């Protein structure tokens, strides 16, 4: 039973709050950042690069390329996010801004279909010579996704035609001309599949499958590539096979490894190809990789990539809280992988992980004002050590206004703006509620559902149905109990693999009550960093403890797990509106000596927690997710 994309989603409640933040603040802000019109933040140069590339193609005087080799992708992700947003808010002003940017992008495309500003501006004679580092295919992939989103939102073909032409150029190079190689940074695979689903262009499917099939067949490709050129960008090690997911054919993979964002994008593309071609061997590899991530290499917050060395997976159960990387983009990519797994196998565990990543790491990447961002998402932060110690210089205590490597802000914007595609799915006679997203959903199968809920701060969800068919609703693994009713009367619904399915007719109302009472969570004894500690969760939310709520110090706090934590009432004035947590515990007396043979005194106290996604909005202070247990 397939679970495919929906027709439309118009948000309400919690999702509307965040989609309005994207629409009202992030999209306008990022537009001006990309045009270098905001003082005091890192220069982008991204729009200017396209303008300079167009001038270079005309033989006109032009400026230099500025920024990272993948700077083009910032523009692509902004177009994609803005496109999803105007599909909801019908904002003519933003649509005109997208049109303006699309015109600038289109003008930078060479006559043969090639589109990459760095090489057009600086090194047009070096195209496709450095797949290891150059990100040409990565940038192309993001612009393909942008083209699909803009066409779906407006029906305008300009960018879609540009990227179909670009896809043909790539097809000619790698398929018709039989050029060797595969993307250094995977992403184009899933993007080509999006183009294929939208247009039916078989070359896109063939090209995506080609990149999947050839990757790792020759693990030494990048070593051979580097011998054929005398230049480099960063000096990446071509022999670091695991880092670049090229150590073996993809169908043989079992362990998630290497750069976490690249890996999850790659696995998403693998699953798309597997789903479309009924490739069981490739699907089985995806399942093994899923289990590797979620059972051995994922943080409680849905973060992945535990080391700053290569922004990568490290080893099973190596999940330190203080030196973690957990890039925002990695959790976004994990959500994409989960979504693809869910399309082929209606299984609540995929949506559980998707939900965890969204409500915790992804949302933590954004300041409540929508203008500052996290790249790295630690589970512990301590002023004087974080940002200072050699092993923790990547851990920030406050978000940044922009970043030289600004992949995360527009990535978060496009994810949140398209959350309906993750929250809901459908097939011929069934609609699937994967996430509890308030608002109105229209399905291609003719059904419509209005979801009313204050989730994630309440476990009460109501669905009002128009049309007839099946309504299949996920029951999350964390909910100890649930109740479901139809038109006010309790029912027993068929339960399978984390979903309950109810036959519905026009006018029916289905009510679901989940148990969001707070709970202690303990890590496996195999995770050495978390021995003797517990975390506190309520529903999908992981809670953290900041110094600002706990007398300036969380390092001396212990949890008393013999007593139950409690959720406090919703406070609309705190951090844009949230529910805090009160946890019984102890505070250890201060110790002046570095070491002492005197046992410290313990005093009873209460710990006050907030959702992890909202930390670092009130200045620099301590933060912990995992607290020692007494």
- Assessment of whether the complete model's pTM goes beyond 0.95: yes
Q: What pLDDT is stored for residue 423 in this prediction?
A: 97
User: H/E/C letters for each residue in 3-27?
Assistant: CECCCEEEECHHHHHHHHHHHHHHH
Lowest mean pLDDT among 71-80, 396-405, 515-524, 530-539: 396-405
Is residue 5's pLDDT more than 80? no
* pLDDT tens digits for range 317-364: 999 999 999 999 999 999 999 999 999 999 999 999 999 999 999 999
Residue 332, token pair as written in the block: 């976004």
How far is CA 126 from its chain centroid?
32
Q: What pLDDT is stored for residue 1 in this prediction?
A: 43
Residue with the bigger pLDDT between 531 and 494: it is: 531
Mean pLDDT of 447-466: 98
Mean pLDDT of 155-177: 98
Q: What pLDDT is stored for residue 342 in this prediction?
A: 96
Q: Alpha-carbon torsion 501, 502, 508, 512, what sign?
A: negative
Mean pLDDT of 131-143: 97
* pLDDT tens digits for range 563-607: 999 999 999 999 999 999 999 999 999 999 999 999 999 999 999
**DSSP conformation letters of 393-435:** TT--SS-BS--SS--HHHHHHHHHHTTHHHHEEE-SSEEEE-S
Mean pLDDT of 397-422: 88
* pLDDT tens digits for range 178-199: 999 999 999 999 999 999 999 9
pLDDT averaged over the chain?
96
Q: Among residues 407, 408, 433, 537, which one is catalytic?
A: 407
Angstrom distance (rounded) from CA 459 to CA 457: 7
- Using CB atoms within 10 Å of the CB of residue 616, give its burial: 0 to 12 exposed, 13 to 18 middle, 19+ buried: buried
The answer to whether residue 537 is catalytic is no
Q: What pLDDT is stored for residue 2 in this prediction?
A: 60
Is residue 3's pLDDT more than 70? no
Angstrom distance (rounded) from CA 7 to CA 13: 20
Q: Which domains can be identified in the chain, with CATH numbers?
A: 424-514 (2.60.40.1180), 519-628 (no CATH)
* Contact present, 428 and 439 (Cβ < 8 Å): no
**Who's near 471: CB < 8 A, 6+ residues apart?**
430, 431, 433, 449, 463, 465, 501, 502, 504, 510
Lowest mean pLDDT among 36-50, 93-107, 509-523, 530-544: 36-50
Tally: H helices and E strands in the chain: 18, 22
Phi, psi of 34 (to 5 degrees): -65, -25
Q: Among residues 48, 133, 311, 546, which one is catalytic?
A: 311
The answer to whether residue 407 is catalytic is yes
Report residue 410's pLDDT band, with 50, 70 and 90 as the boundaries.
Answer: confident
């Amino acid at each position: 039973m397939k679970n495919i994309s929906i027709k439309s989603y118009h948000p309400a409640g919690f999702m509307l709050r965040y989609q309005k933040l994207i629409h009202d603040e992030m999209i306008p802000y990022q537009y001006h950042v990309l045009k270098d019109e905001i003082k005091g933040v890192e220069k982008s140069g991204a729009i200017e690069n396209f303008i300079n590339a167009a001038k270079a193609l005309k033989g006109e005087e032009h400026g230099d390329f500025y920024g990272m080799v993948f700077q083009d992708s910032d523009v692509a992700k902004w177009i994609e996010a803005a496109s999803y947003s105007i599909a909801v808010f019908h904002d003519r002003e933003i649509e005109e801004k997208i049109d303006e940017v699309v015109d600038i992008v289109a003008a930078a495309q060479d006559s043969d279909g090639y589109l990459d500003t760095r090489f057009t501006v600086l090194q047009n004679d070096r195209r496709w010579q450095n797949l290891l580092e150059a990100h040409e295919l990565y940038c192309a992939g993001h612009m393909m996704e942008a083209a699909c989103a803009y066409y779906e939102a407006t029906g305008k073909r300009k960018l879609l035609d540009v990227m179909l032409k670009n896809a043909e150029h790539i097809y000619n190079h790698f398929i018709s001309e039989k050029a060797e190689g595969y993307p250094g940074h995977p992403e184009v695979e899933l993007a080509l599949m999006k183009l294929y689903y939208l247009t039916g262009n078989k070359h896109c499917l063939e090209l995506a499958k080609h990149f999947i099939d050839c990757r790792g067949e020759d693990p030494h490709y990048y070593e051979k590539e580097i011998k054929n050129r005398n230049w480099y960008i960063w000096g990446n090690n071509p022999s670091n096979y695991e880092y670049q997911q090229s150590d073996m054919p993809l169908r043989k993979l079992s362990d998630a490894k290497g750069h976490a964002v690249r890996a999850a994008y790659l696995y998403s593309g693998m699953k798309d190809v597997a789903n479309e071609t009924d490739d069981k061997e490739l699907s089985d590899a995806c399942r093994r990789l899923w289990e590797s991530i979620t059972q051995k290499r994922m943080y409680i917050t849905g973060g992945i990539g535990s080391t700053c060395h290569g922004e990568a997976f490290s080893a099973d159960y190596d999940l330190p809280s203080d030196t973690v990387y957990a890039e925002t983009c990695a959790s976004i990519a994990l959500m994409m992988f989960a979504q693809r797994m869910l399309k082929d196998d209606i299984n609540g565990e995929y949506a559980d992980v998707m939900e965890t990543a969204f409500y915790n790491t992804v949302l933590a990447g954004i300041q409540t004002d929508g203008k500052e961002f996290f790249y790295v998402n630690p589970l512990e932060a301590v002023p004087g050590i974080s940002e200072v110690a050699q092993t923790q210089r990547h851990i920030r205590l406050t978000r940044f206004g922009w970043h030289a490597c600004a992949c995360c802000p527009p990535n978060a914007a496009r994810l949140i703006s398209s959350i309906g595609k993750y929250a809901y799915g459908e097939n011929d006679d069934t609609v699937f509620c994967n996430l509890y997203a308030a608002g109105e959903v229209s399905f291609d199968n003719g059904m419509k559902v209005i979801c009313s809920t204050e989730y994630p701060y309440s476990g009460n969800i109501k669905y009002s149905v128009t049309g007839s068919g099946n309504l299949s609703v996920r029951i999350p693994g964390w909910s100890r109990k649930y109740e479901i009713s139809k038109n006010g009367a309790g029912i027993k619904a068929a339960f399978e693999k984390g979903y309950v399915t109810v036959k519905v007719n026009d006018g029916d109302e289905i009510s679901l009550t989940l148990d969001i009472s707070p709970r202690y969570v303990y890590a496996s004894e195999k995770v050495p960093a978390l021995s003797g500690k517990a975390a506190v969760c309520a529903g999908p939310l992981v809670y953290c403890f900041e110094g600002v709520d706990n007398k300036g110090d969380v390092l001396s706090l212990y949890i008393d797990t013999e007593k139950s934590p409690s959720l406090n009432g919703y406070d609309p004035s705190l951090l844009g509106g949230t529910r805090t947590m009160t946890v019984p515990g102890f505070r250890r007396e201060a110790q002046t000596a570095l070491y002492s043979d005197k046992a410290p005194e313990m005093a009873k106290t209460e710990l006050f927690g907030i959702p992890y996604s909202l930390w670092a909005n009130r200045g620099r202070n301590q933060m912990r997710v995992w607290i020692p247990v007494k």
